[in-house]
Amino acid sequence: MQSGQAQIKVVLLGDSGVGKSSLVLRFVADNFKIDSDSTVGASYMGKSLQFNDKTIKFNIWDTAGQERYHSLAKMYYRDAQAAIITYDITKRESFEGLKRYYRELQEFGPKDIVINIAGNKEDLVETEAVPPEEAKEFASSIGAIYRKTSAKTNYGVEQMFRDIAAKVLPDV
Ligand code: GDP
């Protein structure tokens, strides 16, 4: 690894309303704003995490609304090392949508991009609509990491980024 601060570009994918902006807000600012507006277009936020004696900066691109701005796709994915494809565990259709985002990643994303599937809204597990086994099976079929998260309670959020760093930069 190069000396100095290592950086990882992470792009977010997933249907509107699954909680992408909330996850970034939680990770970056340790904050959760209920009824946040859906993002339009692409936005970017940075956050650093300490790993033993190394600091890794995550540059996180939020794609909410991306499907309406298809021309952004190439620029959006350029040099991304990781993608988080999020679904809402209480909404089956947001899980069905994962395949489409995966295809889009294959089309526009770098070949060796690390993929993480986030089953968000873990705090609503009582109304879970997708059996976790099915989600894990899908993730493993595309070589992705699978993790449940909650932007509301902070469940699994930092760990998801640590998993990503460990896979993108195995020597940290
Ligand atoms: P985006 O369109 O994917 O960026 O989704 P948002 O971050 O705007 O979130 C959509 C809605 O889901 C908002 O009302 C959020 O407050 C809510 N939300 C996001 N994450 C969670 C979560 O982990 N748990 C619960 N209960 N609600 C969440």
Mean pLDDT computed over every residue of the chain = 88
User: How far is it, in rounded angstroms, from Cα 45 to Cα 49?
Assistant: 14
Structure-model confidence comparison of residues 36 and 31, the more confident one: 31
Q: Given strand 43-51, what is the order of strands in its sheet? A: 43-51, 54-62, 6-13, 82-88, 114-120, 145-148
Helix axis angle for 20-29 and 157-168, nearest 10°, is 90
Please tell me the pTM assigned to this model: 0.91
Question: Which atom from ligand 1 is nearest to the alpha carbon of 65?
Answer: 2
Structure-model confidence comparison of residues 65 and 118, the more confident one: 118
Structure tokens at 94: 């947001």
CA of 19 relative to ligand 1 center, distance in Å = 4
Structure-model confidence comparison of residues 14 and 41, the more confident one: 14
User: How far is it, in rounded angstroms, from Cα 151 to Cα 34?
Assistant: 10
Strand, coil or helix: what is 81? Answer: coil
For 96, the enclosing helix (H) or strand (E) is: helix 92-96
The string of pLDDT tens digits covering residues 130-143 is 999 999 999 999 99
Ligand 1 within 6 A of CB of 94:
no
Q: Whose CA is nearest to atom 5 of ligand 1?
A: 19
Q: Does ipTM surpass 0.95 in this model?
A: yes
Structure tokens at 88: 């809402």
